[in-house]
Structure 1
Amino acid sequence: MSVQNIEFTNALSERYLSYALSTIMARSLPDVRDGLKPVHRRLLYAMLQLKLNPDAAYKKCARVVGDVIGKYHPHGDIAVYDTLVRLAQNFSLRYPLIDGQGNFGSIDGDNAAAMRYTESRMTEICTFLMANIDQDTVDFRPTYDDSDLEPVLMPAMFPNLLANGSEGIAVGMATSIPSHNLHELCDAMLHIIDNPKATVLDILEFVQGPDFPTGGVIIDDANSIKQSYTIGRGSFKVRARFHTEAIKGDNYKIIINEIPYQVLKSKILEQIAALLKDKKLPLINNIRDESAEEIRIVIETKASYPAEAVMESLFKFTNLESRIQLNMNVIGANQVPRVMNLLEVLQEFLAHRQNIITRKSKFLITKIEHRLEILQGLKIAYLNIDEIISIIREEDEPKQIMIDKFNLTDIQAEAILNIRLRSLRKLDEYEIINEYNNLQKQHAELTEVLANPKQLWKIVKSEIKTLQSKFGISTTLGKRRTSFSEPSNIPAIIDLNTILREPVTIFCSKMGWIRCLKGHNHDLSTIKYKEGDAEQFILEVYSTDKVIFCSTEGRVFTIAANTIYQGKGHGEAIKLIVDIGNHSITNMFTYTPDQQILLASSSGKGFIVMSNDLLAQTRLGKQIMTLADNHQCIACIPVTGDTVACTGSNRKLLIFSLNEIPIMKRGHGVVLQKFKDALLTDITVFDATSGLSWRHNNKIKTEKDLINWRAKRSSSGKLPPAGFPKDGKAFTIT
């Protein structure tokens, strides 16, 4: 027995990398071609082996799960059964792959019955996923115990990845793909086949956006949707669908009949009930659940306000409005995970179908050639039937004698020897000739498919049109469920007096994680951040305040303090609250009406804007400062003085009167300080009588005699006084 000395860090890195790759490839990310993970693939293949076709009798789910874990997937039965249940839920999958009989859970979050009570079989669309799997269309590999074979991939005649979507979290990466309408995907694929140079924007003429199993309304604008599909990342804001029904008098009640995808109906009811109890919904009198097979949540209102305005309040405070993420991170045909856009996903699927049809054609050609060889031998046998019979009756080795005498192959001779006596009829000769001619015709057609790409794509188009006819938009299953609407400009009816005014402290980290804690004067040593993260902004406000964020892009956002995450943990990513993109936060402060705010960019330009003009009503915010290429907004500070001091990367300090900066609503601004091969690094507004203060060696220094650095706006400035920071970040002294 030998002992090897290995560095612990090297061993840990190697083993963790193996674990990460295993998680990515075998658990979390789907294959772009069939849209399945290994557990899904093994489950469906086991059902195919059990012959659980759509027209077959149901079998107990326990039998199916037993076959899966016994033959293909050596993991827990609960995990496999949970997978089976989800594939059968019509509120989880847009096109369910399993037809379940029994209790398979509900949209309220109820669990399915035990596997010994439920039964299942495949749906019709599931058979399209595994069509022609027995014709050498995909590779097979040994199962975990080498006792059987399992498919590496499914032939997948329909684009399951986009049609049903997928979710998964791996090590260092994740995927989140919503479901789409199959009819629209088919139209897009037909367009790609006819126009190989099509772009993502061309495809979006056919694919409107996600089509969720539970319906709902997407309220994102068209440009946002296009951007998401172009880069393969983004999100969609989905709202519940509602209508009104008149009741006695002039009043009405609101009926919610569709809710956002993956939102539990019971959770929504709990949220609304809690808001009613806390008196945060002043216009709603009562709520009740009248759901049966269809969702029906009834909301009774107190006054005849527009239903849209009442619903805006519910959208703001409950999961009746939800954001669905898009992250098309999948395993490509080259077995490398990456983020693809919509066009790339469809192109990968079409390339897969091209490969499947090619392999199927080669398989059928081989089978036809084998049969033609046998038929040729049978024709020779019928022409010499008496002599053949004599050889078989009289010779000890009839096979070799027939091969030598009639120039037959081994396969032909064996086929002749296996002919039944009842088949020795004259009529069979004509049948053989007809079969031979038909097979030759099929052989020519299949050879043409392999030789002519146009003929191959013709078959792919025929398959796609077959899909459309069976599951298209005119069918019950294929009809689009999710619609689209422009963002509403109707404000939510919220009585701020019903929101308890209490002190809260907002913490925002450098990596953009934000959270809110009740009270002021927190012990900062107890505030924890993610590894590698640290505090950036700490703001003490009240729950009724509005908080303004400014990004380095020069865009401002508004968030109500009472809506900021207050749970445990590290908080919520700011990217999930506002559409800040890949930019960082320049500053955050409490909104005060009619307050002057100074904005400045690294190019040395800036202007003053009134706080009222910074209020943004949407997640997209408002673009206030226009920036030149490669420049950022470095300051967005409330004005609290009469004098401006700014400094650049060249360590030049300039001081001038605040009155020299104009008030604007948006734009580039005016030149604050002139630079040559330098950038503006910091700026502040101060009271001249109090002097200019800055931090030096953890101490605050103040200079009152500022005559040497005073000049007109747009001057170059002079070297700062002794003790001034060399990094140019001088005025952040708190």
Structure 2
Amino acid sequence: AEAMLEGLDENAVDFRPNYDGRLEEPVVLPATFPHLLANGAAGIAVGMATNIPPHNIAELVDACLHLIKTPDARDDTLLNYIPGPDFPTGGIIVDDRETIAQAYRTGRGGFRLRAKWEVEDLGRGQWQIVVTEIPYQVQKSKLIEKIAEVIQTKKVPILADVRDESAEDIRVVLEPRSKNVDPEVLMGMMFRNSDLETRFSLNMNVLIDGVTPKVCSLKEVLRAFLDFRREVLGRRSQHRMDRIDHRLEVLEGFIIAFLNLDRVIDIIRYDDDPKAALMYEDWSRPHQATIRRATDERDYVSPLLGVDTGALELVDDPEAVARGVLEESAEGGPKIPRRYAGRSEGLSDVQADAILNMRLRSLRRLEELELIRERDALMEERAGLEDLLESEELQWAKIADELKDAKKKFGKDYEHGARRTVIEEAAEIEDVPLEAMIEREPLTVVCSQMGWIRAMSGHIDLTRELKFKDGDGPRFAFHAETTDKILVFAENGRFYTLSAANLPGGRGMGEPLRLMVDLPNEAGIVTMFAYRPGERLIVASAEGNGFVVSTDEVVAQTRAGKQVLNVGDGVAKICKPVAGDHVAVVSQNRKLLVFPLAELPEMTRGKGVRLQKYNAARGKQGVLELDGGLSDVTTFDLDKGLSWAAAGDRTRTEVDMGPWIGKRASVGKLPPHGFPRDNRFTDPDV
């Protein structure tokens, strides 16, 4: 604070009335260091804004000293002294040098600021992450709330807990879900999903001359500060010279008073107008010092004897000037008595006042040598100030000395002088696969007929009897891993994606699937299974249209899912993995058709092609309806034959499928003897 106000009482800056006009305040503060960059600034005005980060004072001073020595220095050279912002809360700036340099060259840009963290070993392979510094202007309480939200929503599933163990220092503990998690992967996800990484925008929009707004580079801001310091130096030096001149004038009067002490005492003691008498007395007469001391008022002879004292009054009277009693000074300043005009033997008004205002006990201290010594010292100081005001080189040298003093006060030896923010380039955060964030563990996914889904630990027996809500029962059950994505295919032709790690645990009845994805109430679930990259699926509608699609094309990134099969007013019916070279289609009117898989196109989205032909028939209401419709589809290897579920948990295989092979979109023939009466190849709910 003292460094910001130094010189304020020495006319270093202009003053203006405050908000109510009762007091005066400085227009700017005469800071001895570049406080605009040191402390930073932020504000929004009409049509403009500014945002400047704080910097290290010692680095700013070094840059200013270099700019004094080399006025044409470039911004890139100044960055050798100022590598970047220095935030009081520390942290790590992870931008590369060119990004930082471009921001300072143009006055616009930004800095990526990350929290500082370390891995704390807990023994036995256990560990935790401790955040010791957080980004600038991030509130710790809100940061912890945000991290807790990330845990609750499972945006970072490998993070188990967050704790605030801070005292005077920052200590935020992040607990991983598993010791096998990579700390770098965990922090990379936290930087992306929380305020452990922020961006500080740079906008050095300032009033460079106090009037005109301008977006300045680093060099322009430092140059403006140095020019301001030179102006402050000139004003302070001139103010000091004025004070010295006043003091020299007083000292000359004191020296005269010391040499003529008895006479001064007589004038003060006996004269009716001692000030005028002191000013009119001719102190240059050789016999002045030998005048006999008056013993009483009768012996005292006033220097004003015979003088019209009315003419000696120091008044501003234009009529007196006109009468010739008073005369203006040569500089057109205050008016002085005409009798004193051009006279140098008497004391000045300032000298007379100083002598009259002296305390009596101070008279004994008026020693001539001391007065002369002080006068000589002041005259020497005044000569130095004159040289300073006349020499630009001396002015910059003085400014450099002041900057060095500021560096000593606020440099490395100062309690808070060392740089706190580390600058180190960091690689961009890459998308981390879910498998890298979650410990791989077996799960059994169970979904009920009413759409309640849960994940039970381990691969349990799928034939085991499970508990469900009253009126509910099993629908889907399959083995998966915690790292798997679960694909859900619905009757509206859309695929929905769930994370197996985010599914509710198996201790309860689970949660409704429709709360996890935007699945319409009227759209039922066709199937669900674990995603396997590169696997091919055959999808088909109840109207008998379908195609082959890769599982890589059906993974959805949002709750809304991904439209794959266009069903129009109909519904999706089939979604099965491709496992063979031929397709078998059976209709509700019990017609079986087999054709090569090669006749079925592979698409990413659409209605598909006709798999089997169905004849139109007149319904009860007179509306044309399909004679049948798609019942089931499967794929198989022709040389191994077609298999289907038979009675008593048996499987029957028909090797010779030649009679049923035909062209795609044909009607087909009745299936072999013993084919299931429900016209399905397998149990649809397993």
Q: In the alignment, residue 159 of structure 1 is paired with which amino acid?
A: P
In 2, Cα distance between the equivalents of 1:207 and 1:346?
A: 11
Q: 2:290 aligned with 1:351, yes or no?
A: no
Taking structure 2 as the reference length, the TM-score comes to 0.54
Q: 2:375 aligned with 1:436, yes or no?
A: yes
CA-CA distance at 1:426 after TM superposition: 6.8
The residue number in structure 1 matching 2:421 is: 482
Cα deviation digits, residues 262-304 of structure 1 (max 9, x gap): 1122222222222222223232222211111111111122132
Q: 2:182 aligned with 1:311, yes or no?
A: no
The residue number in structure 2 matching 1:227 is: 102
In 2, Cα distance between the equivalents of 1:275 and 1:500?
A: 21
In 2, Cα distance between the equivalents of 1:303 and 1:393?
A: 98
Gaps of 5+ in 2: 284-344, 436-482, 489-493, 496-516, 520-554, 563-604, 606-686
Q: In the alignment, residue 138 of structure 2 is paired with which amino acid?
A: V
In 2, Cα distance between the equivalents of 1:322 and 1:289?
A: 20
The residue number in structure 2 matching 1:379 is: 255
In 2, Cα distance between the equivalents of 1:362 and 1:501?
A: 83
Q: 2:425 aligned with 1:463, yes or no?
A: no
Cα deviation digits, residues 684-725 of structure 1 (max 9, x gap): xxxxxxxxxxxxxxxxxxxxxxxxxxxxxxxxxxxxxxxxxx
The secondary structure found in structure 2 opposite 1:346 is helix
Q: In the alignment, residue 314 of structure 1 is paired with which amino acid?
A: M
The residue number in structure 1 matching 2:354 is: 415
CA-CA distance at 1:562 after TM superposition: 7.2
The residue number in structure 2 matching 1:283 is: 158
The secondary structure found in structure 1 opposite 2:9 is coil
In 1, Cα distance between the equivalents of 2:429 and 2:202?
A: 27
Cα deviation digits, residues 293-327 of structure 1 (max 9, x gap): 11111112213233112111111111111111000
Could you say if the C-alpha distance between residues 382 and 500 of structure 1 is closer, same or farther in structure 2, counting changes exceeding 3 Å?
farther
Could you say if the C-alpha distance between residues 320 and 225 of structure 1 is closer, same or farther in structure 2, counting changes exceeding 3 Å?
same
Asked whether the equivalents of residues 212 and 481 of structure 1 are also in contact (C-alpha less than 8 Å), the reply is: yes
Q: 2:142 aligned with 1:267, yes or no?
A: yes
The residue number in structure 2 matching 1:55 is: none
In 2, Cα distance between the equivalents of 1:291 and 1:343?
A: 40
Q: In the alignment, residue 326 of structure 1 is paired with which amino acid?
A: L
Asked whether the equivalents of residues 8 and 29 of structure 2 are also in contact (C-alpha less than 8 Å), the reply is: yes
Alignment partner of 2:124 out of 249, 262, 286 = 249
Q: 2:208 aligned with 1:364, yes or no?
A: no
In 1, Cα distance between the equivalents of 2:107 and 2:518?
A: 41
Asked whether the equivalents of residues 244 and 253 of structure 1 are also in contact (C-alpha less than 8 Å), the reply is: yes
In 1, Cα distance between the equivalents of 2:170 and 2:434?
A: 29
Q: CA RMSD in A?
A: 3.2
CA-CA distance at 1:420 after TM superposition: 2.6
CA-CA distance at 1:163 after TM superposition: 0.8
CA-CA distance at 1:490 after TM superposition: 6.2
Q: In the alignment, residue 21 of structure 2 is paired with which amino acid?
A: D
In 2, Cα distance between the equivalents of 1:170 and 1:214?
A: 27
CA-CA distance at 1:331 after TM superposition: 1.4
In 2, Cα distance between the equivalents of 1:500 and 1:448?
A: 85
The residue number in structure 1 matching 2:175 is: 300
Stretches of 4+ aligned residues off by more than 3 angstroms: 489-494, 496-504, 560-563
The residue number in structure 2 matching 1:44 is: none
Cα deviation digits, residues 609-667 of structure 1 (max 9, x gap): xxxxxxxxxxxxxxxxxxxxxxxxxxxxxxx9xxxxxxxxxxxxxxxxxxxxxxxxxxx
Q: 2:411 aligned with 1:472, yes or no?
A: yes
CA-CA distance at 1:413 after TM superposition: 2.0
Asked whether the equivalents of residues 256 and 296 of structure 1 are also in contact (C-alpha less than 8 Å), the reply is: yes
Q: 2:82 aligned with 1:207, yes or no?
A: yes
Could you say if the C-alpha distance between residues 420 and 268 of structure 1 is closer, same or farther in structure 2, counting changes exceeding 3 Å?
closer
CA-CA distance at 1:238 after TM superposition: 0.7
Q: In the alignment, residue 345 of structure 1 is paired with which amino acid?
A: V
Q: In the alignment, residue 377 of structure 2 is paired with which amino acid?
A: N
In 1, Cα distance between the equivalents of 2:486 and 2:276?
A: 100
In 2, Cα distance between the equivalents of 1:402 and 1:267?
A: 76
The secondary structure found in structure 2 opposite 1:161 is helix
Cα deviation digits, residues 477-507 of structure 1 (max 9, x gap): 0111110121225635352979999999xxx
The residue number in structure 2 matching 1:163 is: 38
Q: In the alignment, residue 184 of structure 1 is paired with which amino acid?
A: E
Could you say if the C-alpha distance between residues 480 and 373 of structure 1 is closer, same or farther in structure 2, counting changes exceeding 3 Å?
same
The secondary structure found in structure 2 opposite 1:261 is coil
The secondary structure found in structure 2 opposite 1:323 is strand
Could you say if the C-alpha distance between residues 420 and 272 of structure 1 is closer, same or farther in structure 2, counting changes exceeding 3 Å?
closer
In 2, Cα distance between the equivalents of 1:250 and 1:311?
A: 18
In 2, Cα distance between the equivalents of 1:203 and 1:340?
A: 14
CA-CA distance at 1:417 after TM superposition: 2.3
Could you say if the C-alpha distance between residues 283 and 165 of structure 1 is closer, same or farther in structure 2, counting changes exceeding 3 Å?
same
In 2, Cα distance between the equivalents of 1:332 and 1:202?
A: 22
Alignment partner of 1:326 out of 183, 198, 202 = 202
In 2, Cα distance between the equivalents of 1:232 and 1:175?
A: 10
Larger Rg: 2
CA-CA distance at 1:427 after TM superposition: 5.4
The secondary structure found in structure 2 opposite 1:163 is helix
In 1, Cα distance between the equivalents of 2:49 and 2:484?
A: 40
Asked whether the equivalents of residues 284 and 299 of structure 1 are also in contact (C-alpha less than 8 Å), the reply is: yes
Q: In the alignment, residue 446 of structure 1 is paired with which amino acid?
A: L
The secondary structure found in structure 2 opposite 1:134 is helix
CA-CA distance at 1:387 after TM superposition: 2.3
The residue number in structure 1 matching 2:390 is: 451
The residue number in structure 2 matching 1:336 is: 212
1:616-631 matched pairs, under 5 angstroms: none
Asked whether the equivalents of residues 258 and 366 of structure 2 are also in contact (C-alpha less than 8 Å), the reply is: no
In 2, Cα distance between the equivalents of 1:237 and 1:561?
A: 31
CA-CA distance at 1:209 after TM superposition: 0.3
The residue number in structure 2 matching 1:102 is: none
Asked whether the equivalents of residues 309 and 491 of structure 1 are also in contact (C-alpha less than 8 Å), the reply is: no
1:101-140 matched pairs, under 5 angstroms: 126-140=1-15
Percentage identity across aligned positions? 43
Alignment partner of 1:148 out of 11, 15, 23 = 23
The secondary structure found in structure 2 opposite 1:211 is coil
Could you say if the C-alpha distance between residues 392 and 476 of structure 1 is closer, same or farther in structure 2, counting changes exceeding 3 Å?
closer
Cα deviation digits, residues 568-593 of structure 1 (max 9, x gap): xxxxxxxxxxxxxxxxxxxxxx9xxx
CA-CA distance at 1:340 after TM superposition: 0.7
Could you say if the C-alpha distance between residues 275 and 435 of structure 1 is closer, same or farther in structure 2, counting changes exceeding 3 Å?
same
Cα deviation digits, residues 451-499 of structure 1 (max 9, x gap): 1122222221112111111111233301111101212256353529799
The residue number in structure 1 matching 2:577 is: none
Taking structure 1 as the reference length, the TM-score comes to 0.50
Gaps of 5+ in 1: 1-125, 505-517, 521-559, 567-589, 591-639, 641-734
CA-CA distance at 1:258 after TM superposition: 0.9
Asked whether the equivalents of residues 316 and 492 of structure 1 are also in contact (C-alpha less than 8 Å), the reply is: no
CA-CA distance at 1:190 after TM superposition: 0.8
Asked whether the equivalents of residues 280 and 495 of structure 1 are also in contact (C-alpha less than 8 Å), the reply is: no
Could you say if the C-alpha distance between residues 370 and 519 of structure 1 is closer, same or farther in structure 2, counting changes exceeding 3 Å?
farther
Kindly tell me the number of residue pairs found equivalent between the two proteins. Answer: 393
Could you say if the C-alpha distance between residues 562 and 184 of structure 1 is closer, same or farther in structure 2, counting changes exceeding 3 Å?
farther
1:624-703 matched pairs, under 5 angstroms: none
In 2, Cα distance between the equivalents of 1:434 and 1:499?
A: 93
In 2, Cα distance between the equivalents of 1:212 and 1:314?
A: 21
In 1, Cα distance between the equivalents of 2:257 and 2:152?
A: 92
